[in-house]
Structure 1
Amino acid sequence: MKATLRGVKIRGLCATVPQQTYRFEDELKSFPFPEKTSRRLGRVMGFNEHRIADEKTTPCDLAAYTMNHLFRQGALRKDSLQGMVVVAQMADHPVPGNSKVIHGQLELSTDVFCSDIYENCIGFISGLYTACSYVAAGMDEVALVTTDGGACRANKLDRNTYPLCGDAAAVAVVSRSYDPDDEIHFVFRNDGSRRDALLVPAGGCRMPATAETAKMTKDEMGNYRSLNNMHMDGTAVFQFVMECVPPLVEEACRYAGVDKGDIRYHLTHQPNRFMLEKLADLMDVPREILFNNIVENFGNSSSVTIPVNIAFNLGERLLRERPLVCCSAFGAGLSLAAAICHLGKMDFCELIEHPGNGAIACPA
């Protein structure tokens, strides 16, 4: 699917990561492998440290804290907010959706339209398309909230997934624009035939979580996990990304009518450093404009990696500049998404920390 939405822009963006930091060096002893091989893997993949929320802090808490920070700073006003799109693959409750929980936490007006998208790694781009559609349909301002607590889906004895997991939340404020250059071009692709390559087998209607599904087993590589944990065929996912992402970006550039060489930054979902270095080389894109440092500093927070990427690597630069960027993502499904736009001249673009303990109120 391809679509262009005009008269929309990202007015500002704030990403939040937990203060609580876990170092790969300290976790080596938990993995059932020789420390030497784990260190070698960590250097290649970019495992250094990751941020994981404490057990009292939920994805909704991370998101509400981010929103309250923006309210306190005056960067977002409750009386101007017309809609809120919340993207996550983890929920505070089976019912109601996260958007209603956050709405209540923030004591928003009953007029605010709330919607939930159950999505993973391509979630920021899917949510951006939805938020932009609401603005194009008549809303003046919509908060796009991406939030995730993906670390709870990984097993601490699984070196294949746990070191790269992280928690985070972000709020991108999407607003109406009368600048004719403010348009966003989207391309989406899905291949459900490969869905087993990245899967949590148990916990849904097809296989409810039970004591039996919680039992850990050892795989052929020596990792431990249960059916309640994330199962990833790393080779299949890598092949999917190398095979499908470069053509996706080429297609997005053609659709947007831009030359790939004109893209100033490639703001890509970040699963690990190794994959992104290979992807940059395969796309013939300089590594310095396809950032690959999010997993080593914060971890892979699924739908939140692109906002964290933007805030961490560009930050205040986007208050002054307005570069042409390509956002691209790939993940469970298996799914792909890309968006091309001029990003910048924002009112705010920052990365903050959450203090933990389920806080939603920001310090004065």
Structure 2
Amino acid sequence: MQSTVKGVKIRGICACVPSHVSYYEEELKSFPFSEHSSRKLGKVMGFREHRITDPKTTLCDLGSYTLDYLIKKSFVNKDSLDAIIFVAQQLDYPVPGNSKVVHGNLKLNQNTHCVDLYENCTGFIAALFQASCLINAGLNEVAIIAANSGACYANIKDRNTYPLIGDAAGVAIVSKSSHVDDNISFAFRHDGTRSNVLITKAGGMRMPISEETSKVFKDEMGNYRSLNDLYMDGTAVFHFVMDEVPKIIDECCRLKGLTRKDIDYFITHQPNRFMLERLADLMEVPREKLFNNTGEYFGNSSCATIPVTAAFNLGEKLEINRYRVCFAAFGAGLSLASATLNLGKLDFCRMIEHPGNGAFKYEL
């Protein structure tokens, strides 16, 4: 699917990560492999540290805290917020949805529309498309909350997934614009026949969590996990990214009459440093233009990686300058998404830490 939405811009980005840091050097003692082989893998993949929420902190705590920070810092007027879109692959409760929980936590206006999207790694771009369509339909300002708490779905004895996972929330404020260059082009593609490549089999209606699904077993790679834990065929994901991501980026650039060479920065989903270095080389893009370090310091926070990467790597530069940017994401589904836009002169581009212990309000 392709689409270009006119008269819309991102006016601010804020990323929030848990204050708790988990270090790969300490985790490798839990893996069913020699410490030497784990250190060697960590060096190649860029495993260093990642942020993990404490047991009392949820997705809605992260999202509420971040949006409350923006409200209390006067970056967002909560009475002028027309809608919030909460995108995640987990829920605080089966009912109600995360967006309504945030709405209640922050006592937002009853006219503020609440939308929940169930998405994975491509979720931020999917939410950006939905927000752009709402702006195009007549709204003035929409908050996207993209959040992940993935560590609870990975087994610490599974070296294939646990070192990658990170928890975070990213908030982007999308607003109406009269500037002629403020339009966003989107491209999406899905292949549901390959859903088993990246999947958590137990926990839904198809296979409810039970004593049987909770049994830990040794998989073909020598890792330990249960059916309740995330499974990833790393080789299949790697080939999917190398084969398909350059195509969808080119497709999205063409919608704006651009080529890869016209893009100032590629802000992509962040699986690991190794994969992104290979992707940059394959695309003949300088590595400094395609960031690859977010996973090394914060982990792969699924749908939150794009706002986290933007805030971590560009920060104040996005408050001062304006760039041609290409977002790209890929993951479970298997799914692909890309967006090209002019990004910059933002009202804010910040990174904050969540204090833990279930806090959902920012204290000045």
> Residues of 1 paired with 2:239 and 2:362: CA distance?
43
Q: Provide the residue aligned with 2:292 in structure 1.
A: 292
Please report how far the alpha carbon of residue 310 of structure 1 lies from its aligned counterpart in structure 2 after TM superposition.
0.2
- Asked if 1 retains the 8 angstrom alpha-carbon contact of 2:4 and 2:255, the reply is no
1:200 maps to: 200
Query: In structure 1, what is the equivalent of residue 122 of structure 2?
Result: 122
AA aligned to 1:30 is S
CA drift of 1:107 comes to: 0.7
State the Cα deviation string for residues 117-169 of structure 1 (Å, max 9, x = none). Answer: 00010000000000111011000000011011011110000000000101000
CA distance in structure 1 between the aligned counterparts of 2:185 and 2:217, rounded to whole angstroms: 44
* 1:178-257 → structure 2 map (5 Å cutoff): 178-257=178-257
Q: Does 1:342 align with 2:342?
A: yes
Matched-pair contact (CA < 8 Å) for 2:271–2:295: yes
Query: What is aligned with 1:160?
Result: 160
Q: Which stretches in structure 2 are left out of the alignment for 5+ residues?
A: none
Q: Which residue of 1 aligns with 2:17?
A: 17
Q: For 1:11 and 1:337, how far apart are their aligned partners in 2?
A: 21
Q: Please report how far the alpha carbon of residue 254 of structure 1 lies from its aligned counterpart in structure 2 after TM superposition.
A: 1.3
In structure 1, C-alpha distance between the alignment counterparts of 2:220 and 2:208, rounded to whole Å? 25
| Structure 1 unaligned regions, length at least 5 | none
Q: CA deviation at 1:309?
A: 0.2
Provide the secondary structure at the position in 2 that maps to 1:352.
strand
Once residues 127 and 342 of structure 1 are traced to their aligned partners in structure 2, the CA distance between those partners, rounded to angstroms, is 17
User: Could you tell me which amino acid in structure 2 is paired with residue 173 of structure 1?
Assistant: I
What is the deviation of 1:260? 1.5
What CA distance in whole angstroms lies between the structure 2 residues aligned with 1:363 and 1:114? 25
C-alpha distance in 2 between matches for 1:258 and 1:178: 22
TM-score between the two structures when normalised by the length of structure 1: 0.99
Structure 1 residue 250, shift from structure 2 partner: 1.1
| CA apart distance, 1:256 | 1.6
- The two structures, once aligned, show a CA RMSD in angstroms of 0.6
- The one-letter code matched in structure 1 to 2:271 is P
| Alpha-carbon distance in structure 2 between the residues aligned to 1:248 and 1:344 | 23
Q: Deviations over 1:33-84 (max 9, x none)?
A: 0000000100111100000000000000000000110011000011110100
The equivalences for 1:74-153 within 5 A come to 74-153=74-153
1:6 aligns with 6
Q: Measure, in 2, the Cα distance between the counterparts of 1:250 and 1:362.
A: 41
Aligned residues: 364
Cα deviation, residue 259, structure 1: 2.2
Partner residue, 1:269: 269
Name the SS of the counterpart of 1:115 in structure 2: strand
One-letter identity of the residue aligned with 2:286: P
* Partners of 1:151 and 1:93 in 2: CA distance: 18
What's the secondary structure of 2:255's corresponding residue? helix
**Cα distance between partner residues in 2 of 1:253 and 1:184:** 10
1:8-45 residue CA offsets vs partner (Å, 9 max, x unmatched): 00010100000000100011111110000000100111
Q: Pairwise mapping of residues 7-86 of structure 1 onto structure 2 (< 5 A)?
A: 7-86=7-86
How far the C-alpha of 1:223 sits from its partner, in A, is 0.3
Q: CA deviation at 1:362?
A: 1.4
- Number of the residue aligned with 2:316: 316
Determine the C-alpha separation between the residues in 2 that align with 1:63 and 1:70.
11
Conservation of the 8 A alpha-carbon contact between 2:165 and 2:299: yes
Q: What TM-score do you get using the length of structure 2 for normalisation?
A: 0.99
SS of residue matched to 2:322: coil
What percent identity do the matched residue pairs reach? Answer: 59
**SS of 1:240's equivalent?**
helix
Q: Match for 1:355: what amino acid?
A: P
